[in-house]
Structure 1
Amino acid sequence: MTVDPAAALPLSNAPGAPERRTTDRGAPGLAPILTLRIVIGTVLALAAAGASIPLFRASISTSVWGPFIAGDPAVTIRRYSSPWVVAAAGALLLAGLLLVFVVTDLVRLRRVRRSAH
């Protein structure tokens, strides 16, 4: 079995391999776009997290039943409506995903600013 000597070389030095280009992380105008995306993502994440609270509260319904034995207090039963709970969980999931995007853009913005200096 013969081994091609070019296969042992790194990709950038292999004969006939395309030249690797470095990305221009300091592209002009990229920082304001990332900043805008961070602000919008943060506002939407907070709105989605805030919307989950009334959604969850809408899922709760209480029923008061009379006493089963004379002289006992009334029985209060709390029930949860599944569609409202799922909607609240979906809003929290959306908020979490938006926060992941915000953190990703924060890292990108940091790299852009660092490479610009």
Structure 2
Amino acid sequence: MENDYLQAAAVFGSAFGAAAFAGLATLLRFARRLSKLAVVSAMLNAGFLGLAIALIWYQNYRKAENVYGLIGICVLAGMGGSTLTDLAISLLSGAGIKVTIVHERDLGDHTDEHDHS
């Protein structure tokens, strides 16, 4: 029984990690500007998408003894994770829902970078 839990944890960890790195690879391929926030965001977005797929389909693939196929699907999902998010935002915007993403640093008072007084 404990072995089943360890195997499931290994599959879920692998799904998250593989999808996260696939998301990073996609970001590195297509991004014009890189920032720490963009890298972390891409990896988390893709990783959690891969993890969600693994959580949903784990029982089906475990019974078929094709866990590697499940990890492969998670990698493909990680590569398209940001595209899927952009599509969802576009669909919501088309339905009359306004989606705005604002970072905290954009909300505060801006001071001159060169002013060190």
After TM superposition, the score normalised by the length of structure 1 is: 0.30
Higher helix share: 2
Higher strand share: 1
After TM superposition, the score normalised by the length of structure 2 is: 0.30
Q: Which has the higher contact order (CA 8 A, sep 6+)?
A: 1
Q: Answer with 1 or 2: which has the greater Rg.
A: 1
